[in-house]
Amino acid sequence: MAYQTVNPYTNEVVQTFTAHSDADVEAALAAGHALYKSDWASPANMSARLKILAMLAEVMNARKEELARIISIEMGKLIGESRSEVQSCIDIAQYYADNAARFLAPVPYPDVLGEAWVEHHPVGIILAVEPWNFPLYQLIRVVAPAIAAGNPMVVKHASNVPQCALAMEKAIADAGAPAGTYRNLFITPEQVANIIADDRVQGVALTGSEKAGSIVAGQAGAKLKKATMELGGNDVFVVLDDADVVRAAKTAAGARLYNAGQVCTAAKRYIVQAAVADEFTRVVIERFQAAQMGDPLDDATTLAPMSSQRAKNDLQTQLDQAVANGAKVLCGGAAVPEQGQFFPPTLLGNIERSNPAYFEEFFGPVAQLYVVADDDAVVALANDSNYGLGGTIFSGNVERAKQLASRIETGMVFINQGGDSVAELPFGGVKRSGFGRELADLGIKEFVNQKLVVVGG
């Protein structure tokens, strides 16, 4: 696909970019490998690398507004949400600058052979394949730990956010990173496959769809390369009969409409106990109907356009299919602005297990409502999914919510707050939501050699 900026609010083709050649790819790999083989990558040089991360946080902070506008223009995100995304990037860079030395310090292992410890060494070039929905944040989640650990990185970003891709590359260079630290490449899936096959590349981190994940993980597997996969989700938002239902409903509506619903951990399936279902539904519909669609650069807008015409058309097809298979539209069909890829907030009910919608991820502002009788029914429905990314439980009884949280088969569960992601907490899923973790201490250990050293007595 062509690498170009198409503003999803104005439908204007803003800029088109030249693809990188195989020679460009080779130059990027040669520079990354030379850096990996230099002293720069050694554990002893970590403090110099962490200074670059701290400087990256400063550079991004100085460019906050400029970066936020690029995000909004390229994929339509509300400007306030874009500003928070840039702030999250700054926080993640600073977090690893402050904590990576502790995470990667040698760990002593008591044993019977002698003195033993595990050291953490870089492994070589890591390839990242990243999506458009958080176009700077998805990058920093992989590059900040890579810089800290000493792994050079080559990156294939989504084709609809090329300016974000270049802005991150420039910020890293301006933070003082040496050549080879990070190289953005506008490349094809075939070139991605060739990079994975290259002996200088030791791992691949992908965030994106199940389809892309299974292809890229397959290529990595065939070459015995380590991979992490952050894929789709169909997260539940559970409301128990003892919950503060109005607060839960307001949070649920926000958690479905944020980023125009294009979030892997968005609240996609509302599972609500019968006693509170009517009140919950009323408040959610009220919130959905109050959404203000308009210019993403206008602070008064509360619902952004979707990222592209294709994304909007795909969602409409899914919705039509859900309705054709018996789903009932409880709220939807509101008029949308003539200009821009807007999709009206939609709430679907009456979704039977035979409806394809029951198992599908809707990547936009469409929520599903299921009304259930008791806690066992919550767990059964929540776990009847091919995905296992996150989930939310609202209850007046935190102990009861904790019991349920431990029974839900996902990588993350939030109690009495919407799903969120911060630098300090590991992020990732199970089942077809992928494998591996990003962020926190677990994220930085995905692509390091955990090397055992033993000194005999």
Distance of closest approach, residue 108 Cβ to ligand NAP, in angstroms: 33
Asked whether position 215 contacts ligand NAP by CB under 6 A, the answer is yes
Looking at 25, 140, 158, 304, which residue binds ligand NAP (CB under 6 A)? 158
149 φ/ψ angles, rounded to the nearest 5 degrees: -80, -20
70 φ/ψ angles, rounded to the nearest 5 degrees: -60, -45
Distance of closest approach, residue 311 Cβ to ligand NAP, in angstroms: 8
Nearer to ligand NAP, 40 or 132 (CB): 132
Nearer to ligand NAP, 142 or 171 (CB): 142
Question: 345-379 burial, b for 16+ CB within 10 Å, e for fewer?
Answer: bbbbbbbeeebebbebbbbbbbbbbbbbeebeebb
Q: Say how many residues touch ligand NAP, by CB under 6 A.
A: 26
**Binding to ligand NAP (CB under 6 A): which residues in 45-84?**
none
- Strands 430-431 and 387-388 come out as antiparallel
Asked whether position 156 contacts ligand NAP by CB under 6 A, the answer is yes
Quick one: which segment of 157-165, 274-282, 329-337, 340-348 binds ligand NAP (CB under 6 A)?
157-165
- Is 230 one of the catalytic residues? yes
Asked whether position 169 contacts ligand NAP by CB under 6 A, the answer is no
Asked whether position 235 contacts ligand NAP by CB under 6 A, the answer is no
Looking at 53, 92, 165, 192, which residue binds ligand NAP (CB under 6 A)? 192
The one catalytic residue among 74, 130, 230, 438: 230
| Dist. CA 348–CA 351, nearest whole Å | 7
Looking at 124, 232, 332, 364, which residue binds ligand NAP (CB under 6 A)? 232
Looking at 8, 32, 124, 131, which residue binds ligand NAP (CB under 6 A)? 131
Asked whether position 164 contacts ligand NAP by CB under 6 A, the answer is no
Is there a contact between 15 and 163 (Cβ–Cβ < 8 Å)?
Answer: yes
Cα end-to-end distance, the chain, whole Å: 60
| Dist. CA 168–CA 155, nearest whole Å | 11
Q: Which amino acid is present at 89? A: C
Looking at 129, 220, 285, 378, which residue binds ligand NAP (CB under 6 A)? 129
Which candidate, 192, 199, 197, places its Cα nearest to that of 221? 197
What radius of gyration do the chain's Cα atoms show? 23
Asked whether position 92 contacts ligand NAP by CB under 6 A, the answer is no
Distance of closest approach, residue 193 Cβ to ligand NAP, in angstroms: 7
Asked whether position 135 contacts ligand NAP by CB under 6 A, the answer is no
Distance of closest approach, residue 287 Cβ to ligand NAP, in angstroms: 22
Looking at 362, 363, 435, 447, which residue binds ligand NAP (CB under 6 A)? 363
Is there a contact between 232 and 387 (Cβ–Cβ < 8 Å)?
Answer: yes
Distance of closest approach, residue 389 Cβ to ligand NAP, in angstroms: 6
Could you write out the DSSP letters of every residue in 250-306? HHHHHHHHGGGG--TTS--EEEEEHHHHHHHHHHHHHHHHH--BS-TTSTT--BPPP
Looking at 208, 294, 296, 365, which residue binds ligand NAP (CB under 6 A)? 208
Contacts of 330 (CB under 8 A, 6+ apart): 281, 285, 347, 348, 349, 369
CB count, 10 Å around CB of 413?
A: 21
Residue with nearest beta carbon to ligand NAP: 208
CB count, 10 Å around CB of 257?
A: 23
Quick one: which segment of 43-51, 62-70, 210-218, 376-384 binds ligand NAP (CB under 6 A)?
210-218
Q: For residue 29, give the H/E element and its range.
A: helix 22-37
Mind telling me the catalytic residues? Answer: 230
Q: Which residues bind ligand NAP (CB under 6 A)?
A: 1, 129-133, 156-159, 189, 192, 207-209, 212, 215-216, 230-233, 264, 361, 363, 389
